Structure 1
Amino acid sequence: MKIVYIGTYPPRECGIGIFTQSLYQSMVANPDISEVKISQKGQAVEGYVVAMNDHDLDYNYPEEVKFTIRQEHQRDYLKAVKYINLSGADICILEHEFGIFGGQNGMYILPMLHRLEIPLIVTLHTILEKPSYNEKAVLIQICKMAYKIVVMSHKAIEFLITIYKVDKNKIELIEHGVPEIQFDQLESKKGFKLENKKFLLTFGIISRNKGIETVIKALPKVIEKHPEVVYMVLGKTHPNVLHHSGEEYRNYLHLLVKTLNLKDHVVFLNEFIDENELFKYLSASDIYITPYLNEAQITSGTLSYAVGVGSAVISTPYWHATELLDEGRGRLFNFNDSEELSGILLELLGDPEALKEIRKKARDYGKTITWSKSGDKYVELAREVCAVNPQVFTRSETLIDPLLLPSFSLDHIKRLTDDTGIIQHAKFGIPNLKEGYCLDDNARALLMVLMDYQQTKNKQALALAPIYLSYIHYMQNEDGTFRNFLSFSRQFLDEVGSEDSFGRTIWALGYLLGNAPNDAYYQTGKLVFFDAAPNFEKLQSIRGIANTMLGVSYYLKANPNDESMSERLRNLAGKLITHFEANSSDGWQWFEPLLAYDNGILPLALLHAAEMLHEDKITEVALASMNFLTKITLKDGYLSIIGNENWYKKEGERSLFAQQPIDALAMILMYQQAFHLTKDKEYLTKLFSCFMWFLGENDLRMSLFDFETKGCCDGFESYGINRNQGAESSLAYLISYLIVLQAFEEFEEKELLS
């Protein structure tokens, strides 16, 4: 029997990773002699690990890790499932925790599991009593796909049955395993030079919900009577907390210790130590404390370890603690109640026999939940599932296959960007400094990096964002309009830019206001956006209007109660509809008497307005103009863009050459929004067809994407590809790429959660 395990894994510092490794070793490999384990039925067990990476970090994994998945990269999940399906594995065991998988509420794991061609067992480490809609939907889907669901407490079973409506016959209770490591308490204390101390301990990944301040506040009363008390907080700050807040919580705890004059009694050991060293500390402790701040903790590995080693545990009454410390195996105190904790500590420190009795009961129970016993239960569960040979859930392939896409790369964009902004033109793949910068491209660049960061948490993208935002701010005039062009020597080259450039800037700023990565960016974007807002009604260019409508729509998605901005959007949509009604006729459902450039942006703007305003007329014109454009440009099954050589005049002939990437981008955005509104899968087919224009599905059958430079060529002419790779074309490609991934995710979400 060959088992594949999916979860985090050491050396990544994560509690789920320790669990995955312990489970793997207890089921498959003897870590000392590297032999294959034999199940009780005489069946050989082997396996390997698919490890989850965070924030694009790389780890030096042990040899059992055969594949890695970057948390926020959708394509990695699909590559991994193909690897698993071809690896000869018989069964998959998934360690599920919302925070270790990418997408909203860990949704990226769903398409992977739906493509799995072997039975699935899932271990649930978190089961929420009051989940959000998506949290509940994601967990329900995982439970549907799993043949067996392993939980570690009776409360977890109750939640699965009553809240998530899971068939109780699917659920197995296997308690959290404990390593079979034992040390003598006195010898351990001597090793840490604590033989004359009363040693209190809390360990684990540190974050605010751990309630360590409750213990610190309880200590002054205890130390008055027991000055020999030392309290150690052992563990590193949670990596997600570090990523977003740094050491704010740890610094607060240090300040609290100083304020209460406890510096000789509280020790912080900011390390992620191995199990052997951890069990020495646990064995040395007189009392182990878990002071979590609320009951919503269905499983605690740290608590299991403490009970397993025979510690005297005092804990708040979170769900796992109330079960594990039952029958005298520990003591409970109320959440955030330092007074009650002080009383229990004083009672137990003054009664060695009571402490000894708690330790004995805990140690006796710990012998029943060792990893060897838990591992055997998992092995037999896996064997039973394989023997049943359950029918595996299968589904049809999606209309979009992200694995057909080249790897996403910002290399060319970084090459074009300096500390002023993004250079607008290039000679082949080399920035053309002579042409300087323009507002359009810096607005597109801001939009692209914000999208990238929102989807993948790419730090490179986030680092570029302030460059483009500061360029936009620099180019704004006092009346809220914008200059467009700036020379390489930072000289203004115009007084007021085009309405197109104005609209594209508002689009990027509106997106920023709806998806700001931090408050500083939001406040700057808000300032520039609202300084520009008085100019919205002055716009005359239909593409300037359309681009502005996109920005207003993104703003309104985050601020739906801004009635003034909703009215502005309604007025702008009215202008487009007026143009449509003035120029359309039988056989020509369009806004002007020609198809020119960036055509898809016009129906796109109305599709966004339709979503925000819910007006039938807007929807009607949006769909009519989109269908007309589709008939002209997708009639042969691939995208044939209107060339800007002579464009396409009503009752004239369309230009084939001088096709440009911004037109492909507009079509892709248009079909994404159409799918978002209608849920018609046919729009995804069209969207993906339009993206493949970049990769050779076009009139010349030549790829515009340069696999060497990672840039996109500027278009194609009658003589062939224009090999220059300026900012406009490369940004159009990258935004299109990100839209394809967004559309794929939206489709998967609709399919999997319906």
Structure 2
Amino acid sequence: MKIAFVATYPPRQCGIGTFTHSLAHAMKNNGDDKNEIIIIAMTDNHEVYAFPPEVKLIIHQEQQTDYLAAADFINRSGAEVCILEHEFGIYGGQSGVYILPLLHRLHIPLISTLHTILENPSYTEKAILQQICKMSDKLVVMSHKAIQFLEGIYDVPSEKIIRIEHGVPDIKFDKATSRAEFKLTDKKLLLTFGFVGRNKGIETVINALPQIIEKHPEVYFIVLGKTHPNVLRSAGEEYRNYLQLLIKTLNLGNHVLLLNEFVEEKELFKYLAACDIYITPYVNEAQITSGTLTYAMGSGCAVVSTPYWHAAELLTENKGRLFDFKDENGLVKVLNELLENPEMLKTIQKKAVVYGQDIIWPKIGERYLQLAERLIAEPAKPEPKKDSAIDLLLLPTFSLAHIKRLTDDTGIIQHAKFGIPNLKEGYCLDDNARALLMVCMTYKQKKNALALELMPVYMSYIHYMQNTDGTFRNFLSFNRNFLDEVGSEDSFGRTIWVLGYLMGHAPNDAYYQTARLIFFDASPNFEKLKSIRGIANTIIGICYYLNTNPSDDEMKMCLVRMTDVLVEHFEQNQSENWNWFESLLAYDNGILPLALLHASQVLENKKAKNIAFEAMRFLTSHTLKDGYLSVIGNRQWFVKDKERSIYAQQPIDAMAMVLMYHQAFVVTGERGYLEKLFTSFMWFLGENDLRMSLYDFETKGCCDGFEDYGVNRNQGAESSLAYLISHLTVLQAYEESYHSQELNREETN
């Protein structure tokens, strides 16, 4: 069997790396050398490591393209299974989000070993771990508490989880020989090891020592470990200096040794062999797995620990002793009792030895191998047959809660800090136009009372922002001061779009007449527009108007002329392998083919229709080629003959794709467009380059997009409205598809 590992790896000094090395070689050495391992090793902070030969590829932690290259490498390597060692801090991006695209691209079974499972994760941490769990075939954890968390907090099905304990090396040293080597023959050795930081609680032991030494002057305490690299970068040796000062203050210089070393495994086990009592005095319970604790028990040490999760679970049945967090007196009591009762100490040590024999690395490696073999042997699951291209069960419950939160009696606030309205940024025409479109769609489909209640708020904002010449201002401060004289052509076009839509779907005559008044006051400006997106949005609004007013020949001629402008832009910019309206793919791209699809229906214009589909195929080839939507990022737009931008992807671009494919389905009746529509919608729910959901199930808002570091958690109006309009379009498309199928059945019968 060929096994790929993604993790840190020696000589990088990291507990996960040590674990990976031990597990990989335990799996390799099981089965008469028939197994082969390949390591995909993580590096950090531009460090250069002399990796051993089994490391076949390196991922630089903050280099996103390395993760994608690693996925391709693993898929081509002949590996039959991949094992991910997961810890948030070792992968790049916000909370290690860069690992998700790698996992998504794997074509082989995935086992993920979870070294950290948080009880109170941040939004991003929870979302990332849930995605890892979703993409993994099996999840390995090392404690029962971890299983409880995965099932209760992260909603992971129990059949996906398996508990395999942390392994320990099968290394044994003679106690007397080791003590003699370290010149500790006449000492009682207390030991702790691992990376040093304030969460380790070492000061609790130091503060307890004077009372212990008073009865047992032969006690000697060794702290074996370097300062944690993250602590070193942020605070230097502040904690170690504090411990040194504490040792000096308590006059413990002859009883405590701080060894600032990362020792090799064999050396470590010599210290463990020499140890009388091993102590883990961690300061809080939130540690689901402790490799140091497992090593100490596995080597036969009597362990005294605070009751963090892993210790509380492991030290049952007299396999060790517990004392409370930061409880110096409790520690004094436990240590004095053990030091004064050698038989009690030996009983605990014997139980630890028995426990350790079951978790030596060869046995742990064999369990991982058996798990991998079962996964490889499982037949590939057939794709479930879908009755529809759209799966409504995947849609969150439709909710206007966040929109209501953003809306006051003036209009919808354009920005938010996380899910809270940011009043400092005020209002804009763009968002109030989108909001009016969304509530019109909502009321049309759902007869939602809140949508009807919000409709006049957005309508009155649009009316208030219209100038006497029919143009519109865009921005309004929170205290209702105008912030511009004339808004963008994009905002103009979006406003015409919703006015045209409202005239076709007004809930009563007052809304219709108001929309008509504003629309025709603006109409002298239609053909003055220069921006092709402003033109496209306006075309869509005119088409909605003409759908219910087909005899307006003057407006139809305006539509002809504006459509010709888009057609001309396409013909001027089209070249071999570039079928588009500009020399770049920028923002809101789907709106351009969408406008021509609408116009071609109203005008029965074959040329416009053909160009719409040609442009749509071109856009699809660059954004939907890997089975999910990857819209053009706004960091650097996709200039012809140059590299496209992946990041700074925004919800309005996904909405435009949803609307474009919906209109293509309306025009053609081809179900393939429904599949593309639904794939584009799923961008909001995590089927994207980052594998992260932008929809916030708590606030019912939508995040503003994602950057290279992760999701932008602000949930402004534009993003949340883009999500809701897309959601409503999916529901509408599903209904249309259902009725289409029913008609086909009737015709067949």
2:92 to 97, 102, 113: 102
Contact 2:131–2:691 (CA<8 Å) still a contact in 1? Answer: no
Q: 2:256 aligns with which of 255, 262, 266?
A: 266
Alignment of 1:335-350 (within 5 A): 335-350=325-340
Q: Match of 2:42, SS?
A: strand
Distance 1:170 1:358, change over 3 A: same
User: In the aligned structure 2, how far is the partner of 1:44 from the partner of 1:60?
Assistant: 26
Residue 211 of structure 1, CA deviation: 1.2
Q: Does 1:691 align with 2:637?
A: yes
| Distance in structure 2 (CA, Å) of the matches to 1:684 and 1:150 | 31
Change (3 A) 1:144 1:747: closer
- Partner residue in 1 for 2:27: 27
Deviation at 1:89, TM superposition (A): 0.8
The offset of 1:175, in angstroms, is: 0.9
- Please point out which of 129, 134, 148 is paired with 2:124: 134
For the pair 1:325 / 2:266, whether they are aligned, the reply is no
Q: Is the 8 A contact 1:138 1:753 kept in 2?
A: no
Q: Cα offset for 1:690?
A: 6.7
After TM superposition, the structure 1 = structure 2 runs for residues 60-209 of structure 1, keeping only pairs within 5 Å, are: 60-209=50-199
The one-letter code sitting in structure 1 at the alignment partner of 2:253 is K
**Aligned pairs (5 A) from 1:395-410:** none
1:670–1:238 CA distance, 2 compared to 1 (3 A): farther
Contact 1:178 1:371 (8 Å CA) reproduced: yes
How far apart are residue 385 of structure 1 and its match?
Answer: 1.1
Following the alignment from structure 2 to structure 1, what is the Cα–Cα distance between the partners of residues 149 and 647?
37
Partner of 1:285: 275
Letter in 1 for 2:689: E
Deviation of 1:750 (Å): 6.2
CA contact (8 A) 1:119 1:390 kept: no
1:2 matched residue in structure 2 = 2
Match of 1:231 in 2: 221
1:52 is aligned to: 42
1:38 and 2:28 correspond: no
Q: How does 1:280-679 map to 2 (within 5 A)?
A: 280-391=270-381, 557=417, 563=423, 566=426, 570-571=476-477, 574-576=482-484, 578-580=486-488, 635=570
- Relative distance call for 1:387 and 1:131 in structure 2 (3 A) is same
Q: Which runs of 5+ in 1 are unaligned?
A: 30-36, 395-551, 604-626, 641-655, 675-679, 698-702, 706-732
Secondary structure, aligned partner of 1:748: coil
* Unpaired stretches in structure 2, ≥5 consecutive residues: 385-412, 429-474, 494-521, 538-561, 576-581, 593-619, 654-682, 696-749
Q: Deviations over 1:691-713 (max 9, x none)?
A: 331xx43xxxxx6x9xxxxxxxx
Rounded to whole Å, the distance in 2 between the matches of 1:741 and 1:80 is 26
Structure-1 separation of matches of 2:381 and 2:62: 30
Q: Percent same amino acid at aligned positions? A: 50
Counterparts of 2:423 and 2:634 in 1: how far apart (Å)? 36
Structure 1 position 219, deviation (Å) = 1.0
1:748 is aligned to 689
Equivalent position to 1:214, from 204, 207, 215: 204
Question: Aligned partner of 1:576: which letter?
Answer: D
- For the residue of structure 1 that corresponds to 2:252, the secondary structure is coil
Shift of 1:580: 4.8
Alpha-carbon spacing, 1:588–1:92, altered in 2? closer, same or farther (3 Å): farther
Give the 3 Å change call, closer, same or farther, for CA 108–197 of structure 1 in structure 2. Answer: same
Measured after TM superposition, the shift of residue 7 of structure 1 is 0.8
Tell me if the contact between 1:317 and 1:334 (Cα under 8 Å) persists in the aligned partners. Answer: yes
Mapped partners of 2:492, 2:131: distance in 1: 49
Instruction: Give 1:17's aligned residue.
Output: 17
Deviation at 1:155, TM superposition (A): 1.5
The AA in structure 1 aligned to 2:31 is I
Task: Tell me: CA distance 1:52–1:220, structure 2 relative to 1, closer, same or farther (3 Å).
Answer: same
Shift of 1:564: 5.5
1:215 Cα offset (Å)? 1.1
Displacement of 1:738 after TM fit?
6.1
Closer, same or farther: CA 390–143 of 1 in aligned 2, 3 Å: farther
* Cα offset, 1:232, TM superposition: 1.1
**Equivalent AA in structure 2 for residue 748 of structure 1:** D
- Tell me if structure 2 keeps the 8 A contact 1:110–1:138: yes
Q: Is the 8 A contact 2:142 2:165 kept in 1?
A: yes
Alignment partners' CA distance in 1, 2:231 and 2:314: 28
State the Cα RMSD in Å.
4.1
CA contact (8 A) 1:157 1:171 kept: yes
- The structural deviation recorded for 1:587 is 8.9
- When the two structures are superposed, what TM-score results if normalisation uses the length of structure 2? 0.59
Q: Distance in 2 between matches of 1:639 and 1:186?
A: 83
- The 1:50–1:213 alpha-carbon spacing in structure 2 relative to 1, beyond 3 Å, is same
What is the CA distance between 1:15 and its match in structure 2? Answer: 0.5
Q: Distance in 1 between matches of 2:572 and 2:381?
A: 37
Give the C-alpha shift of residue 671 in structure 1. Answer: 7.7
Indicate conservation of the 8 Å contact 1:639/1:689, yes or no: no
Deviation of the 1:241 alpha carbon = 1.7
3-state SS, counterpart of residue 243 of structure 1? helix
What does the per-residue CA deviation read over 1:345-401, in whole Å, with 9 as the maximum and x for residues that have no partner? 11111222221111111111111110011011111111111111444999xxxxxxx
TM-score normalised over the length of structure 1: 0.58
Q: Write the distance in 1 (CA, Å) between the matches of 2:567 and 2:634.
A: 17
3-state secondary structure, aligned to 2:689: helix
Residue 503 (structure 1) aligns with: none
Structure 1 residues 312 and 639, CA, compared in 2 at 3 Å: closer, same or farther?
farther
TM-fit CA distance, 1:140: 1.9
Partner Cα distance (1:303, 1:19) in 2: 13
**SS of match in other structure, 1:38:** coil
Cα distance in 2, alignment partners of residues 252 and 633 from structure 1: 73
Relative to 1, partners in 2 of residues 1:66 and 1:252: Cα closer, same or farther, differing over 3 Å?
same
SS of structure 2 residue aligned to 1:317 = coil
Query: 2: distance between equivalents of 1:633 and 1:77?
Result: 42
TM-aligned CA distance change 1:145 to 1:126, over 3 Å: same
Per-residue deviation, 1:337 = 0.7
Alpha-carbon deviation of 1:158?
Answer: 2.0
Partner letter of residue 59 of structure 1? Y
Distance verdict in 2 for CA 1:269–1:669, change over 3 Å: farther
SS at match of 1:194: coil
Kindly provide the CA deviation profile for residues 36-83 of structure 1, in whole angstroms up to 9, marking residues without a partner as x: x417xxx93212111111123221110001011111221111100000
- The answer to whether the 8 A contact 1:8-1:100 is kept is yes
Distance 1:671 1:55 in 2: 38
| Partner SS, residue 575 of structure 1 | coil
Report the secondary structure of 2:113's partner residue.
strand
Indicate conservation of the 8 Å contact 1:671/1:687, yes or no: no
Relative distance call for 1:379 and 1:566 in structure 2 (3 A) is same
* Change in 2 beyond 3 A, CA 1:294/1:129: same
Give yes or no for contact 2:128–2:692 (8 Å, CA) kept in 1.
no
Change (3 A) 1:741 1:221: farther
Q: Deviations over 1:540-581 (max 9, x none)?
A: xxxxxxxxxxxx999x84997875665997449943363559
How far does residue 210 in structure 1 lie from its aligned partner after superposition? Answer: 1.2
